[in-house]
Structure formats: C-alpha cells, structure tokens
Structure 1
Amino acid sequence: MIIALLLYPGGWLIDASDPLDFQETLKAYADNDNLTHAVSFVIILCSLLISYGIFSFWRLQGPSGSLGHSMLRFGILVNLFHYGIYILTMGTRHLLVAVSQHADSLADPAGAPELMLVLHAVSGGLHFAFVTVSSVSGVLVGIGLARRFSSLNLTAAACWVFGLAGVAGLINVVVGQQAEVDPEAFIMVSNIVLFVAAAALLLIGIGVIRGEKELIPEDD
C-alpha cells in the first residue's frame, strides 16, 4: 500500500502536483493515465486485504465488557467503514481520469470540464471523510490493541503510535476546518499522519507474523 501510494501520479514521486490546483492535479493523472488506473486498482485491493487483516482481530478474546476490548471491536467495524470510504475515493478519481480520456464520447462533450470538476470536488470531500473516520478507527484499534500488552515492546509501541496517530489526525481535522488554516498545511499534516499510521500498522502486521500472543487468537 505504501509503495502504491508513493507511485500514485500527482503524489510525492510521480509528477508531484498541488492537490488544491485542479488543472495541475488532473494533468498529472491524465499524463500518467495507465499508471493512475493501475495504482488505483492496486490500492483498492490493498485496502480490502488490510481490512481483512484488521478484521481478523475480531477473534481476539478479551474480558467481557472491558473498555479495551470494546474499543478494539468497535474500531474494527469503523475500520471497515473507513476503507469503504477510501475505496469510493479511489473509484471517483478513477472515473475522473476516465472522463478526461473519453470526453469526446460523452453525450455532452462540452460538459466534460464541469463534470471533472465535480468529480474532483467529490473526491476531495470523500478524502476528508476518510481522514476523519480513519483517525477514529486508528484511536480505537491502536489503543484497543495496545491495552492487550502487559509490557512495552516494539509491537506494543507500534500499537500506541497507531492510536496516537489517530489522535493527531482528529486534531488536524478539527483545526484544519478553521478558515484561518492554510489548506495545504492540513493536507501536509494529513499525509504525514497517514504515513506514520501506515508504518505503525506495518509493524503490527509483522508482530502478527511473528506470533505475538497478544495479537493471535487463542484457538490458533
């Protein structure tokens, strides 16, 4: 997922563009249309795989009614929802590129620019919702998993970082809505928070592979 996001046109590596500049962003997508479609497809698949991985934590046992266990289970459900939003975001961007490629085939070719602008705006709104919901999910899942550890090791620390990244994301969402805040600052902080959360999630996944007992269901 991290590699795919780095390769997404208009991002950090491929034709970096200002996400607030519609024409510049669209040009980055359209100039690399095949790559945009391919990476979008990979990101959607990765989102489903990550959701499946986090959903596997549902089988973890915990004290009935305990705060940590309740947070974890609710966070798992929120996680499924937030990746659903992200998949819709990627689908909207995919359609945006498709419209730019086949504008002449539309029933009203002259309306293509307005349609693309609407799709871009919808994509931005969905991404804002994704940042918000993913932050809530990060707090719940991160803290829910961290509370299962009796001592602090690398995996436990990654769980706490995952949860704290969610807190940072929520603060960024609240502050970023203020008119005085530069939208570019909001986007930059969001990207940093998401990258930190992704790195923490990677370490948590490694912990699962290593068989950390706090992350493995008792019947496995």
Structure 2
Amino acid sequence: MAMASTRQAGLALVAGVVLAMVGSLVFPGGPFVESVDQTDFEAALAALADSPRLGHLTSLMVIVGMLLHAYGLLGLIGLARGQEGLRGPGLRFGILLSLFAWGIFTVAIGKRLMVIHLIQRSDLAETAEMQALSDSAALTGHTEMAGLTVAFITMYPFESALVGLGLAPRFVGMDVFRASCYGLVVVGALGLLNLVYALFVPDTDLLSHLIINNLVLSFGSLCLLILGIGMYRGRSEFTPDDAR
C-alpha cells in the first residue's frame, strides 16, 4: 500500500513539473510567446492583452501543476517519521514550507487570471472612464502578483535546501537521484544568493536577476522531475522505513 501511494505521488510530481514548466514557458510575454521584459509591467500587460485565451490556459496549467507538485511532495512526508535532525524535523519542515511557498505562488498565478479578465473587460468597456478603471485595476493586480512572486522567491531557497538535505542521506551511493537531492541544495544556495544580491545591491539590472532566478528554478524543476521518476519507479529510498 505504501509503495502504491509513493508511486501515485511520484506520478503526480512528474505531471506537475511538466505542466508547470510548459505553462511557464509559453505564456504570453514569456520566453517563447511575445517575449517581453517582465520587469516592464506595461509591456507584460500588453502581451497578455494580445493573447488572453493563451494567458488563461497557461495560468491554469501552472496552477494545476503546482497543486500536483504539492500532492507529490506530500507523499514523502512519511519519510521523516522516526528520524532525527535534517532527515526528520528538517525534512518535514522543508516539505511543509514547500507547500506554503507553492501555495503563495499559486495565488500569484491566480492573480494573473484576474488581471487578464480585467484586461478583457477593459476592451469591452462602453465608456473611456470604465476602460481607464479596468486598466488601472489590471496594473494594480499585476503589481500585487509581482509582490506575491517575490514572497515565493524569498522562501523557495530554504524549502529547497531542506528537502534536498533531508532526502540525500537516505541514499547509500551516488546516483542520479542523490545528485538531484544535492541539486536542490544548490538551487537553495544560488536562489538565496541571487535574492540577497538583488535586495542589497539595488542598482543592478533587475532583468538579469530575473533570468538567473528562472534558470535556477528550471534546474530545481529538473531535480524534482528526477525525484518524481524515482518515486514512480518504486525506489526504496522514497518509502518510509517502517513500511518496507
């Protein structure tokens, strides 16, 4: 029963990573569709206005993907049972912090749905006053979305490192799965370094920090994808010791 649950969680994690990655890459204004500088809010809103249906679709893909992320990672919380240190409370806290951080990111993407809806309302407005009101609300919503995203960026380095440090000792030798655990630790370190540099050296290019952050998160997604595959394959390291 425990093995079946782990396999289901692994499948959910793999599907979640794929959905979230695809949705993040092809949303309007992203890397592949009408690419714009995401630190330029007006340009980002204009890209969403040009392809609102694609914006809704990709946002929903990311939201569903993050929910699957949460379901998949929650399948590992039993590994902390009866353990001490990073393998016990550390891993458990890392998983719970991941769920909280991913929840904030999901809310941020939900904000994008509202922003796109306001843009659509603006296009259908019967008066200039209503159009201006909708445009202003859309810009405010986009700013709030950015704030929620920064909150996620602040937390993910810690949850990533804790999960990686909690899982790595369960492996005896070095293989692709243990390397992925250490990869999550690297993601945490690089993410935190990039955040601190952006906060305390404000005259640097924000777009460069955003690109670095996206690359780090993409590498983290690859690590989670590999771990999800290991869970689906039924690797014993992903099964609680008392359930083997």
What is the TM-score of this pair, normalised by structure 1? Answer: 0.94
- AA at the equivalent of 1:96: V
Deviations 1:119-159 (A, max 9, x none): 11111111111111122110111111112212111100011
Query: Could you say which structure has the greater relative contact order, defined with CA pairs below 8 angstroms and 6 or more residues apart?
Result: 2
* Aligned positions of 1:119-138 closer than 5 A: 119-138=141-160
Distance 2:169 2:126 in 1: 55
1:150 equivalent in alignment to 2:172: yes
The structure 1 residue matched to 2:68, chosen from 35, 49, 53, is 49
Q: Distance in 2 between matches of 1:95 and 1:3?
A: 21
Question: Which one is further off, 65-74 or 102-111?
Answer: 102-111
Q: Distance in 2 between matches of 1:96 and 1:181?
A: 28
For 1:173, the equivalent position in structure 2 comes to 195
User: For the residues of structure 2 that align with 1:46 and 1:88, how far apart are their CA atoms?
Assistant: 13
CA distance, structure 1, for counterparts of residue 234 and residue 160 of structure 2:
22
SS at match of 2:76: helix
Comparing 1-10 with 148-157, which one deviates more in the overlay? 1-10
Please give the per-residue CA displacement for 1:139-192, whole angstroms capped at 9, x wherever unaligned: 111111112212111100011101210111011111111212211111011101
Partner of 2:230: 207
Aligned equivalent of 1:72: 91
Letter in 1 for 2:230: G
Distance between the aligned counterparts of 1:125 and 1:119, measured in 2?
10
2:10 paired residue number: none
Higher normalized helix content (fraction of residues)? 2
In the alignment, the residues of structure 1 paired with residue 74 and residue 80 of structure 2 have an alpha-carbon distance, to the nearest angstrom, of 13
Note the residue ranges of structure 1 that are not aligned, 5 or more in a row.
Answer: none
TM-score of the aligned structures, taking structure 2 as reference length: 0.85
The offset of 1:62, in angstroms, is 5.2
Residue 71 (structure 1) shift = 1.3
Tell me how large the CA RMSD over aligned residues is.
1.7
1:18-167 equivalences under 5 Å are 18-61=37-80, 63-103=82-122, 104=125, 108-167=130-189
Task: State the 1:57 CA deviation.
Answer: 0.6
1:9 is aligned to 28
Distance 2:53 2:162 in 1: 37
Identity %: 32
Aligned residues: 220
- Equivalents in 1 of 2:231, 2:184: separation in Å? 15
Q: Tell me, what secondary structure is at the counterpart of 1:147?
A: helix
Q: CA deviation at 1:31?
A: 1.0
Please give the secondary structure, in 2, of the residue aligned with 1:102: helix
Check whether the contact 2:25–2:31 (CA below 8 A) recurs between aligned residues.
yes
Rate the CA distance shift 1:151–1:122 in 2: closer, same or farther, 3 A.
Answer: same
Structure 2 runs not aligned, ≥5 long: 1-19
> Aligned partner of 1:133: which letter?
M
Tell me the residue number matched to 2:17.
Answer: none
